[in-house]
Structure 1
Amino acid sequence: MRPADHDELNRLCKGVKKSFVHLETRDSYGTEVELPHMATWRRGEPDDFAWLGWWLEMLRGHRAAGRTCRRARVVSEPVSDYQRWTMSHVGLFTDAGEDIRYVARPRLATVPLPGSGDFYVFDDELVLFLHYTGNGTNLSFEITEDDRTVRTCREAFESVWALAAPLHAYRSE
């Protein structure tokens, strides 16, 4: 494994040839970018979501080119404020072409997951692990192209995906 940074993560997301998958396992995150917007949501104030423009444009480009982008969110119930906030605008992502699904944490009791938690798999060739502190702040990124690790993460994601549901269906569970 080798260290990586936000810039490399963004380059990888933008540069996929066929797909990326992203597993999120935390109930909340403390990213510098997101926290002010979540605070706006808590106050009941509108957000123009301009800060997401580059991501949404990238997703539209991937969809137009036939590439797939999928994200599975593992959540505790009742869902955290952070998850309620993301659910309030998940339609922006799905409308742009990212398939996002949710699964309640107890449903994964028999699903083996990599101990690192969150990760991306790019083009079934490379894994980027996202490491966080206890309060949800990103600590570091690591990348590997090790075949066994890529296969383990891809299989873990697909196992979670098989149990997950789009938001409209998740709400009815």
Structure 2
Amino acid sequence: MESLDAEGWARLFNDCQVSACHLEMRDHYAVAEELADIEKWRAGMWGPEQDAESKAGWLDLMRATTARGVRIRRTRIVSEPVSEYIRFEHEGTPQNIAAGEEVRWLPRVRASGLSLPGNDCWIFDRTTVLFNHFTGDGGWVGNELSTDLDVAELCTDAFESAWRLGIPHSEYTVPRPAS
């Protein structure tokens, strides 16, 4: 297993010619680079400007990739009511969309009939899959790259099935927990 640095991520997107699809299936991520951002969000000291600044490198990469004509889509499968992390992520999604990503949300109860890979993944041009591995509490473990065409087909089919059932970001309202 490896962990891609910013250059490795950029290379995957720069080499991509047609499409990059991200399937996210966790309700909580605890990656180190977001922890301070989430604390500021909890304290009410976080908004679109801070979010865009925090992920500026990523947003620049998305703009450059979509400017070349690559379609970038993301489907997030979420439990409802959503976790605190998903509320944070939902509030930051407009910056991703402004950078060219298309984002849909799929309530987990609507995903029961889908065959899904065991891990979150990025699928590049339907031929390369980058699996993202996390600990049970959402900490980052690393990446696993696969160019096995059977694996790519499985992940592509899973993504497309989830995408069809997903709700566009502009139409998805985050359900709040009952008080």
Common fold, TM-score beyond 0.5? Answer: yes
Equivalent residue number for residue 99 of structure 1? 102
Determine if contact 1:132/1:140 at 8 Å carries over to the other structure. Answer: yes
- Given candidates 115, 136, 141, the residue that maps to 2:138 is 136
1: distance between equivalents of 2:174 and 2:55? 28
TM-score (norm 1): 0.92
TM-score (norm 2): 0.89
> Is the aligned partner of 1:170 residue 2:168?
no
1: distance between equivalents of 2:14 and 2:86? 25
1: distance between equivalents of 2:108 and 2:174? 16
Q: Aligned partner of 2:46: which letter?
A: P
2: distance between equivalents of 1:10 and 1:132? 21
Residue 123 of structure 1 deviates from its aligned partner by 1.4
1: distance between equivalents of 2:170 and 2:111? 20
Equivalent residue number for residue 6 of structure 1? 4
2: distance between equivalents of 1:137 and 1:46? 22
Determine if contact 2:87/2:174 at 8 Å carries over to the other structure. Answer: no
Aligned pairs, how many?
170
Equivalent residue number for residue 29 of structure 1? 29
Equivalent residue number for residue 81 of structure 1? 84
Tell me which moved more, 33-42 or 60-69.
60-69
Q: Aligned partner of 1:93: which letter?
A: N
Determine if contact 1:103/1:170 at 8 Å carries over to the other structure. Answer: no
1:68-101: CA deviation from partner (whole Å, max 9, x where unpaired): 1111000000010000001112100001100011
Determine if contact 2:90/2:174 at 8 Å carries over to the other structure. Answer: no
3-state DSSP class of the match of 2:26? coil
Structure 1 runs (4+) deviating above 4 angstroms are none
Equivalent residue number for residue 44 of structure 1? 44
1: distance between equivalents of 2:83 and 2:30? 13
Residue 133 of structure 1 deviates from its aligned partner by 0.5
Structure 2 runs not aligned, ≥5 long: none
Tell me which moved more, 151-160 or 56-65.
56-65
1: distance between equivalents of 2:64 and 2:57? 11
Cα RMSD (Å): 1.6
1: distance between equivalents of 2:134 and 2:174? 31
- Given candidates 122, 125, 128, the residue that maps to 1:123 is 125
Determine if contact 1:69/1:97 at 8 Å carries over to the other structure. Answer: yes
2: distance between equivalents of 1:5 and 1:11? 14
